[in-house]
A and B are shown apart, each in its own frame.
Chain A
């Protein structure tokens, strides 16, 4: 996008990218290495990357002691529902917030920021009471509801930013062609919003997938428990942990988000957007 750089420029770009990826991605390598190490190799003065006696024991332990499979299935349902609902709910609202100047919109945006600012710990107990009153404690529905509300501030703030980025002229051109407002939304605005919607869906999915506290407090029935709660059980007193099974479980917990993103990231590329604008 910034023009064709020289060969040295390209080399520097690859170097910078490699630096970024080492910084951001090395934990995955560490997880992989730890997950296959037997207990005696986990406490070494000079840790090695490659296990000298690789073992599958950690995976066996992780899956036999905690019902990780079931927990992952629960998490997947909750996270997908949260992602879909967040996008459905935030899309029209963000359009309204960006395109109409109204007091209600200003208040809503301000509120959204405020709700993120106030110390979360003080909100937990009242939220818990509301959900219990509504009969939503101990159910996935309650969790989804909380996660959607939790993701909405981000979704609204981001999406209204994206809507503002869409040149108003495009919409006007479409309405001159005789399209109604909803048609304009569907044909012009939503395709252009696609990258923002991907970011929003991703945000909502991952925050639901990783959320720990509400899942811990709201869900009493072990069969309904989500993955982060199950994983936390490998951690003990004073920061000690059963590293092997924890790493094995965490490795498997990391993959769905990455796969989800791998599918979605193509939507982030300029190709689809350029097509949308022209077509």
Chain B
């Protein structure tokens, strides 16, 4: 294992490099230890399960079955359907989340009045206990007494009233909006923190050169926060792809399977039908596909950033 500094340091020789290696291990050790204990073993076990016929049960033995699960999986139409919905959901939520959060972060970074209060209000969705969030949004979308339909009723637009979660065409967009709402604060706070790292001098220099606001955003701000943007959007994408609790409370995958997210599918497979092996195989396949997607994204982005 080699440790090479990005910039060769002529003044220091090999001794410095080996000192660096010691430093890096010591710096990493505290975080690696708990991760090793609580994530490596469970994760390896989970991956392995995907190649077995493991089932829930007292004293049930699991047998290694090789690729059997994957053969079954290839023809599992229901899963692939739900996988498509999952991609739509994860892309939709991540993109909207990022665009809206960036706008909000830029606003909150301005010298506006009530900025402190606004910042606190912006994290409300994050601070609310998840158990009440699902119930709240069900009340927002309630066809008879929902806040949204009531709003349309009061402004005299009764034609816009819809059975948001029950209608086949509005169910997925409706839950995507809830997903965006729930995840925005995190993204906003991170982007806001990222904006602080943009050196003021760069802006001032650009302003002196007479660059327009948009130009400065595009060529000064954006490149400077790119590493943070890449990190948060890739994490957001993963989280969104993996989250299903909120959607489960809202629609339980309905109507007619329109909001059946793949992680919900895997959850039911494991925890409801007890097919651990098959559920783990679903997990492995999803991990491979998502990693492939992310690899393309991260390589392009990181190259742009450097």
Contacts and interface: CB of A to CB of B under 8 A. Distances in A.
Direct contact of A and B (CB under 8 A): yes
Interface of A: 1-3, 5, 13-14, 16-17, 20-21, 23-25, 27-28, 30-31, 43-47, 88-90, 92-93, 95-97, 99-105, 108, 111-123, 126-127, 130-131, 134, 145-146, 148-149, 152-154, 156-158, 160-162, 164-168, 181, 192, 195-196, 198-199, 202-203, 206, 210, 212, 227-228, 231-232, 235, 239, 241, 243, 246-247, 250, 253-254, 257-258, 261-262, 265-266, 268-270, 273-274, 277
Given A44-B145, A198-B193, 17 more contacts: A3-B216, A5-B213, A20-B104, A20-B122, A23-B181, A93-B30, A104-B28, A113-B238, A116-B242, A118-B283, A119-B242, A126-B46, A145-B38, A202-B189, A232-B131, A239-B249, A268-B196
A92 B49 CA distance: 34
A122 B184 contact: no
Interface string B207-240: 1000001001100010011011011101100110
Contacts of B213: 2-3, 5
B175 interface: no
Given A17-B107, A241-B135, A192 B287 contact: no
A156 B30 CA distance: 12
A192 B127 CA distance: 26
Contacts of A247: 132
Given A45-B144, A162-B228, A116 B235 contact: yes
A104 B23 CA distance: 13
B35 A121 contact: no
Interface of B: 1-7, 20-21, 23-28, 30-32, 34-35, 37-43, 45-47, 49, 100, 103-104, 106-110, 112, 116, 118-133, 135-136, 138-139, 144-145, 147, 150, 153, 181, 184-186, 189-190, 192-200, 203, 207, 213, 216-217, 221, 224-225, 227-228, 230-232, 234-235, 238-239, 241-242, 249, 263, 266-267, 270-271, 276, 279-280, 282-283, 286-287, 290-291, 294
Contacts of B185: 24
B129 A17 contact: no
B135 A243 contact: yes
Given A101-B4, A162-B228, A268-B119, A1 B195 contact: yes
Given A114-B43, A116-B238, A123-B43, A148 B127 contact: no
